[in-house]
Structure 1
Amino acid sequence: MAHAQDQILTPPAGNTIVPQKEREGIDLEINGRAFRHTGDSQMPLLWYLRDVLRLTGTKYSGEHGEGGHDLVLVDGKLASSSQLPMVELAGKAVTTVEGLAAADGKLHPLQQAFVDEDAIGCGYCTPGWLMASLDLLNRHPQPSDNDIDQMPNLCRCGCQTRVRRAIKRAATGGHA
């Protein structure tokens, strides 16, 4: 008796399957995974993340990215996702807030510091704070208060003091 995997399947007479040509697009990496965007090349990265990939951690931050809620890292540098058209991301590596935690779910030390210092408030601005904080710590491993004050983020909940403590906690390896 032949097994299904041993049978050669042929299309019925007159029906031929013709594979479509591979669609051209913009190839990029997001959180370590390869993607190809085949839609509008002028689509802002923010909407590709949120509407296409369903990575909703990055938030809308106004038409011009004011407030810093839409921040991501592009090739390790802080960038406003609402200001970046997909065409500018060909061959680039994007990290979003969803890409910070380890594959097993363990929080990034910066995320853990935000939890430990209760620096979350309503949570809307938190992803942008995390991305900007990571960028800051990459550039200034022991940031000063002035360094932190220069960050582009806004918080209407009043969490700035706790955010400052969280950044400093992460800078010292998790010790308050």
Structure 2
Amino acid sequence: MMHLIGFIIQLAIAVFIIRFHANAYYLGDNPVVAKLNEFTNPLVLPFQRLIPSKRFDIASLIPALIIAVLAAFITARVAYHALIIGVNIFLLGTWLQVVFYAMLIVVIGSWLQADSRQPVMQIALACCEWLLAPIRQIIPSLGGLDFSPIAALFAIQFARQGLNWLTSQLLF
């Protein structure tokens, strides 16, 4: 039962993280992003009045933070002093999962030669391009093959293992 609750909490946080990335790349005309914005507006608009957005829609991350804090209070098994660190680790872990799955969508889409203008591909590219762009500067494509997603997937997996280790240190 706790796994299901944790999954639902991560899914709710992931929705706001995807909204953040999609709006950072100005995908408002994308029909999926338009529905996502419409669905999440009741929770985000009050914060947008307080924090006006320039390029990054920081207000869309505040509901994710609130959900993580409430989830930590409900399901907490850690001491109070580790609660803030635990919330940050949970948010970062969810963010890494979103980027990981977006990267898989991009890789599989490139294998299937999917059009990058498709709504889901646009969102996936928006979620992982911030990580791929610097890696592409370090690892150039060889003969038309882009190895930056492989390096990014290794980096994400390394970061997830580090978070798992940190979480295990907090719990024990």
TM-score (norm 1): 0.24
Q: Which has the higher strand share?
A: 1
The two structures have a TM-score, normalised by structure 2, of 0.25
Instruction: Identify, as 1 or 2, the structure richer in helix.
Output: 2
